[in-house]
Structure 1
Amino acid sequence: MPSHGPGDFHTARAAGSPVGSGDAVRRYRVQVEKGIALPAPEAAVEIETILAHPRGWTADGRTSFQLVASGPADFDVKIATPGTVDRICGAAGLRTRGEVNCTVGRSVVVNLKRWVLGSEQFDGPVTEYRALIVNHEVGHRLGRPHLTCGRKGGPAPAMMQQIKGLHGCRANAWPYAANGTYITGPAVP
Structure 2
Amino acid sequence: MTRSRTNRPAATGPRRRAAVSRLAVLLVLAVCAVGLYAVTAGRNAGERTAPAAAQHGPAASAVPSPAPTGKAKPKPARSQVPEHGDGRFTEAPGTSRTIGHGTPLRYGVEVEDGTGFSAASVAAEVDRILADKRGWTTAGAAFRRVDSPPYDFLVRLATPDTTDALCAEYGLDTGGEVNCSGGKDVVVNLKRWVLLSPYYKGRPAEYRALIINHEVGHRLGRGHRGCPGPGRPAPAMMQQIKGLHGCTANAWPYDRHGHAITGPAVP
| TM-score grouping bracket, smaller chain normalisation | over 0.9
2:100 paired with 1:58: no
1:13 pairs, out of 93, 97, 101, with 93
Once residues 2 and 184 of structure 1 are traced to their aligned partners in structure 2, the CA distance between those partners, rounded to angstroms, is 35
1:133-175 CA deviation, whole Å, 9 max, x = no partner? Answer: 0000000000000001012101100000000000010000000
Asked whether the equivalents of residues 132 and 158 of structure 1 are also in contact (C-alpha less than 8 Å), the reply is yes
Asked whether the equivalents of residues 123 and 171 of structure 1 are also in contact (C-alpha less than 8 Å), the reply is no
Once residues 261 and 201 of structure 2 are traced to their aligned partners in structure 1, the CA distance between those partners, rounded to angstroms, is 18
Classify the secondary structure of the residue corresponding to 1:79.
strand
Code of the aligned partner of 2:245: H
Asked whether the equivalents of residues 14 and 44 of structure 1 are also in contact (C-alpha less than 8 Å), the reply is no
Structure (1 or 2) with the larger CA radius of gyration: 2
Code of the aligned partner of 2:137: T
- Of all paired residues, the percent bearing the same amino acid is 56
2:52 paired with 1:2: no
Paired residues in the alignment total: 187
Higher relative contact order (CA 8 A, sep 6+): 1
1:24 pairs, out of 103, 112, 119, with 103
Matches within 5 A, 1:1-189: 1-21=81-101, 23-60=102-139, 62-123=140-201, 125-189=203-267
Classify the secondary structure of the residue corresponding to 1:46.
helix
Structure 1 segments unaligned to the other structure (5+ residues): none
Asked whether the equivalents of residues 27 and 68 of structure 1 are also in contact (C-alpha less than 8 Å), the reply is yes
Once residues 122 and 163 of structure 1 are traced to their aligned partners in structure 2, the CA distance between those partners, rounded to angstroms, is 10
1:124 is displaced (CA, Å) by 5.9
1:91 is displaced (CA, Å) by 1.9
TM-score w.r.t. structure 2 length? 0.68
Greater Cα shift, 99-108 or 119-128: 119-128
Structure 2 segments unaligned to the other structure (5+ residues): 1-80
Structure with more helix by fraction? 2
Structure with more strand by fraction? 1
1:88-146 CA deviation, whole Å, 9 max, x = no partner? Answer: 11121111111100001101000001001100133560110000000000000000000
Once residues 52 and 83 of structure 1 are traced to their aligned partners in structure 2, the CA distance between those partners, rounded to angstroms, is 30
Classify the secondary structure of the residue corresponding to 1:155.
coil
Once residues 251 and 94 of structure 2 are traced to their aligned partners in structure 1, the CA distance between those partners, rounded to angstroms, is 24
| 2:27 equivalent in structure 1 | none
Coordinate RMSD, CA, aligned: 1.0
Asked whether the equivalents of residues 81 and 113 of structure 1 are also in contact (C-alpha less than 8 Å), the reply is yes
TM-score w.r.t. structure 1 length? 0.96
Code of the aligned partner of 1:167: H
